[in-house]
Amino acid sequence: MKIHEYQAMEIFARYGLPVSGFDVVTSPEEARAAAEKRGGSVVVKAQVHVGGRGKAGGVKLARDADEAERLAEGILGMDIKGLTVEKVVVAEVVDIDREYYIGIVVDRATKKPVYMVSSEGGVDIEVVASETPEKIHKHPVDPERGLSDAEAAELAAKIESEPSVAAQVADAILKLYAAFVGSDASLAEINPLVVTSEGVVRAIDAKMNIDDNALYRHEDIAAMRDTSTDTAELTKARELGMSFVKLDGNVGCLVNGAGLAMTTMDLIKQYGGEPANFLDVGGSSNSDKVATTLEIITSDPNVRSLLINIFGGITRCDDVARGLVHALERVATDVPIVVRLTGTNAEEARRILAEHDLMTADTLDEAVEKAVVLAGRDS
């Protein structure tokens, strides 16, 4: 799950990172009041789930409260990479001397968190990584032992030579790691971590992605979810406890079990089709759930055929078939449906589906092939 800069700042502050004072506002008037409180000169920052806000015009410096109000007016409602700005942060301005990058990501190859630090902060780190990779220092962290003071000091020394500043950088490196682990983050980064003209280290940007599977043990972070940009389908699927990911293809998929859903998508590709979504309906497939998933999938105008692939283990195929028949009474759709049910009570299920003129397939290959052909047909 992505969280906003201001939310990551709140978490960073809890771990003692040197973040700037700020307020989150939703109107120009509030921005003015927040600027007045901080003595007038502030930085106004769009809160959207994308990077590069600065370049897109979503981060601006204001000299006084008047200007803060005007800038907030311009930034609120602005479109940044397809996202509408609904909130802005009004933060204390920092006098920047130099900008660094520090960040941690989980690296699948080494199965460890990898710390990255660079003296090239404030700019797009992906650009630094591709053009001047030697300027990014990487350090895999042993997750069992954690990050030691010595390791942090060593990393800090790679980007900062002045001892009193390097000590502050090392401290920030340790605290960011603590925030990363403590929040079950998959990414935590400060870009830029700045050194002020007085030699003080400050975090003026914050980014964190949280592992969805760990949200159950972070109620406070789970509550940070911003659903304003979620589609209605996604929200519905989440409420029902299903995993739903929208994709760009035209073959809708309704499958039980994440592994089976993956296999189904692979097969669709193999038969020359493109899946319209990933959807794991989970264990029990009552008619209510099936109806909702049908609504979710067929509300996508790209969907030209729907493949239902259910393995009946504990879930009984005849239950799913009945659920589907009921669901189709509720959800009107022209999208052709191919059903492949196998496992417990599959015979009975096929009989029910045949009675209602639903297209079935005996094997998964046959079902996928049919669905792909139907999706590719001109209509």
Q: Is residue 321 at the binding interface for ligand GDP, with CB under 6 A as the rule?
A: no
What phi and psi, each to the nearest 5 degrees, are found at residue 372? Answer: -65, -40
Q: Give the DSSP letter of residue 76.
A: T
Q: How far is the CB of 32 from ligand GDP (least distance, A)?
A: 18
Rounded CA-CA distance 343/214 in Å is 33
Q: Is residue 257 at the binding interface for ligand GDP, with CB under 6 A as the rule?
A: no
Collapsing DSSP states into helix, strand and coil, what is residue 72? helix
Q: Dihedral sign, CA of 130, 134, 137, 141?
A: positive
Q: Is residue 74 at the binding interface for ligand GDP, with CB under 6 A as the rule?
A: no
Q: Which stretch binds ligand GDP (CB under 6 A): 32-40, 51-59, 155-163, 308-316?
A: 51-59
The Cβ-side half-sphere exposure at 36, using a 13 Å CA radius, reads 8
E strand spans, the chain: 22-25, 42-46, 59-62, 79-80, 83-84, 88-92, 96-107, 112-118, 136-140, 185-196, 201-203, 207-210, 243-246, 251-255, 277-280, 305-312, 337-343, 359-360
Q: Is residue 54 at the binding interface for ligand GDP, with CB under 6 A as the rule?
A: yes
- Near Mn ion by CB under 5 A: residue from 205, 233, 300, 318: 205
Q: Which stretch binds ligand GDP (CB under 6 A): 49-57, 262-270, 277-285, 367-375?
A: 49-57
Kindly tell me which of 125 and 339 has the beta carbon lying closer to ligand GDP: 125
- Near ligand GDP by CB under 6 A: residue from 9, 204, 242, 358: 204
Active site residue 189: yes
Kindly tell me which of 132 and 148 has the beta carbon lying closer to ligand GDP: 132
Rounded CA-CA distance 138/21 in Å is 30
x/- contact string, 159-198, with Mn ion (CB under 5 A)?
--------------------------------x-------
Kindly tell me which of 99 and 319 has the beta carbon lying closer to Mn ion: 99
Rounded CA-CA distance 42/109 in Å is 42
Rounded CA-CA distance 37/328 in Å is 58
Q: Is residue 23 at the binding interface for ligand GDP, with CB under 6 A as the rule?
A: no
Active site residue 101: yes
Q: Is residue 53 at the binding interface for ligand GDP, with CB under 6 A as the rule?
A: yes
Q: Which of 67, 120, 189, 369 is catalytic?
A: 189
Cβ atoms within 10 Å, residue 134 = 7
Total residues at interface with Mn ion (CB under 5 A): 2
E strand spans, 158-233: 185-196, 201-203, 207-210
**Angle 364-376/258-270 helices, nearest 10 degrees?**
60
Residue nearest to ligand GDP (CB): 54
- Looking at residues 113 to 142 of the shown chain, list those that interact with ligand GDP (rule: CB under 6 A): 122
Cβ atoms within 10 Å, residue 129 = 15
Kindly tell me which of 88 and 308 has the beta carbon lying closer to ligand GDP: 88
Q: Which of 101, 120, 160, 233 is catalytic?
A: 101
Q: Is residue 40 at the binding interface for ligand GDP, with CB under 6 A as the rule?
A: no
Cβ atoms within 10 Å, residue 81 = 12
The structure tokens listed for 300 are: 């996508």
Q: Is residue 5 at the binding interface for Mn ion, with CB under 5 A as the rule?
A: no
Pairing status of strand 337-343 against strand 305-312: parallel
Q: How far is the CB of 83 from ligand GDP (least distance, A)?
A: 12
Total residues at interface with ligand GDP (CB under 6 A): 16
Q: Catalogue the active-site residues.
A: 101, 189
User: In the complex, which residues of this chain contact ligand GDP (CB under 6 A)?
Assistant: 43, 45, 51-54, 59, 93-94, 96, 99, 122, 191-192, 204-205
Binding site for Mn ion (CB under 5 A): 191, 205
